[in-house]
Homo-oligomer: A and B are copies of this chain.
Amino acid sequence: MNSQTAPSLADVARHAGVSLSTASRALNDAYGVSAVTRARVLESASALDFVVSPDARRLASGTTGRVAVVVPHIERWFFGQMVSGIERVLSEADFDILLYHVDDAEDRREFLARLPARRKVDAVVVVAFPVGEAERERLELIGAKIIAAGGQSASYPYVCIDDVNAGRLAMDHLTSLGHRRIAMIAGSDPDQPGWPATPGRSRAYESALEALGVSPDPALVRDVDWNPVNAGKAMADILDAAGEPPTAVYAHGDELAFGVLHTLRHRGYRVPEDISVIGIDNHPLAELLDLTTVAQDVGEQGAAAARLVLQALGRAQAEPGAAPGVVAPVHLVERASTAPPRS
């Protein structure tokens, strides 16, 4: 604290009266250090306020103590939650998190192309976007582990929800209330078409209808880029285009449903009396808007992904019989935006 430069391992070793090697081993919980010696070293280290230089350690040992978290749209609720969950367990395990923001395919390609050569991280968790086979090979060549969160990608460990199942819960709720004429606002990221949630949630819509013998009406379906305002416009569109309005709307996400709610209100429809609305996510504001939804715990998914990282790095035991991936649970949260159709 009285020097301009941070204390080094050498300072600690000197202070504790041991060699560099012993100090290093004591600090790293390695075998072959007597309890008393270790205690002495630890004491010296904390007395000197010592923390290893990550660069030196990395250089000498070949491991970085860092993991990259790669996310699109970090300003969006889903991704913030995810990062928060990842950070929580990884920082607990003393890893540093390198945050990379990549939106479109070009960003992604460039990021993945550069990362391996940089040897900056032990692992990378890619949130909600696909990694190609070629890119995967590059990453693995240099020993970086990969984990996918918010979607399943290629063949590495992943955590995600079952989108078909989530969609089915929503649709079943609607159909069991008696709805038959159901609109769908599908979320579809232009930067990653067909990925990740869209196909499953759409399929759930189609099969629910099919099971009822209802043939889907294309006038009742719109793709939206996950922007609430655009979802509102899509809803207006449907109202304008469809001869008869739907009795219910199934949105791929709560943020889309918020836009739907807005348009409905402005058009003078009452929810749920005239039209029911359901979303997916259980966004923090869903409660305030009385939105019925299928809840998922995104923060917990992030934490699970982080645990997968730890396992991949040998820092944690895989749970016995654990699958290569974890499918997070979802459940229906009934609120006041859904009701039987008016008879």
User: Range of interface residues on chain A?
Assistant: 35 or more
A326 within 8 A of B: no
Q: Are A120 and B54 in contact (CB under 8 A)?
A: yes
Inter-subunit contact B53/A119 (CB<8 Å): yes
Selecting from A76-84, A168-176, A217-225, the interface stretch reads: A76-84
Q: Measured between alpha carbons, how far is A74 from B83 in the docked complex, in Å?
A: 8
Q: Which of A86-121 contact B (CB under 8 A)?
A: 87-88, 91, 96-101, 113-114, 116-120
CB distance from A46 to the nearest CB of B (A): 11
Contact of A99 among B99, B118, B229, B285 (CB under 8 A): B99
A299 touches B75 (CB 8 A): yes
State whether the Cβ of A210 lies closer than 8 Å to any Cβ in chain B. Answer: no
User: Known: A97-B98, A99-B99, A141-B4. Is A55-B64 also a contact (CB below 8 A)?
Assistant: yes
- B288, A232: Cβ atoms closer than 8 Å: yes
Chain A residues 219 to 242 lying within 8 A of chain B, measured CB to CB, are 228-229, 232
- Within the complex, what minimum Cβ distance (angstroms) separates A52 from chain B? 8
> A315 CB to closest chain B CB, in angstroms?
19
CB-based contact A75/B64 at 8 Å: no
In angstroms, Cα B47 to Cα A24, docked, is 38
> Of A55, A79, A87, which is in contact with the most chain B CB atoms at under 10 Å from its CB?
A55
Contacts of A135 in B (CB 8 A): none
Q: Let me know if B80 and A76 touch, CB within 8 A.
A: yes
Q: Could you say which of B117, B141, B261, B285 contacts A50, with CB atoms under 8 Å apart?
A: B117
Instruction: Encode contact with B along A55-75: 1 for CB under 8 Å, 0 otherwise.
Output: 110110000101001000011
Residue on B with the closest CB to A102?
A: B91
Taken together as a complex, chains A and B put the C-alpha atoms of A164 and B272 apart, in Å, by: 41
Q: Assess whether A258 is in contact with B288, with CB atoms less than 8 Å apart.
A: yes
Tell which of B7, B58, B114, B299 touches A55, judged by Cβ atoms closer than 8 Å.
Answer: B58
Identify the closest chain B residue to A98 (Cβ): B96
Shortest beta-carbon distance from A232 to chain B in Å: 7
Q: What are 8 pairs between A and B in contact, CB < 8 Å?
A: A55-B58, A55-B59, A69-B99, A75-B83, A98-B99, A229-B288, A232-B288, A255-B285
Least CB separation from A336: chain B residue: B266
